Amino acid sequence: MSPELQPGLRFAWQYTVPPRATVPQLYHDTPFCLDMPEVLATGYMVGMMELACVHGMMPFLDWPREQSLGTMVSFQHLAPTPPGMTLRIEGEVLEVEGKRVRFKVQAWDDQERICEGTHERCIIDPVRFNARVAKKLAAHGETGA
């Protein structure tokens, strides 16, 4: 991780909401969700907020040897967004402590602010991380669960 990844660093990212991101389409296998409004699902929005932070961090990481994983999200979903609108997501690094990076993040659609909150990511070595996952999968297979 570059020492330039410091509090105060700001970034922005844009993403156009696809139809697959709406509640009925994202949760198409859950019958009661099919009757819900065709708007951006909160779960998908959280993913977009995370990706904006990943995008903001990438210039400061030795990608792909250094990557990051989300470890905490705390967002308020303030307004609905129909598919086709473009999200503008802006973030700021609040704190860097070892491999942990904390962000303030906000998002707007074409008309209004739709989200605000904080997010935390941890920088990982993907080789070590994937070895840990493989070990967990192997143990799961041994139990027959």
Residues catalogued as catalytic: 42, 50, 77
Q: Classify residue 72 as exposed, middle or buried by CB count within 10 Å of its CB (0-12, 13-18, 19+).
A: exposed
Give the three-class secondary structure for 77. Answer: strand
Q: Are 91 and 103 in contact (CB under 8 A)?
A: yes
* Strand ranges of the sheet holding 113-124, from the earlier edge strand across to the other edge: 10-16, 86-97, 100-108, 113-124, 67-77
- Between CA 129 and CA 21 the distance in angstroms is 29
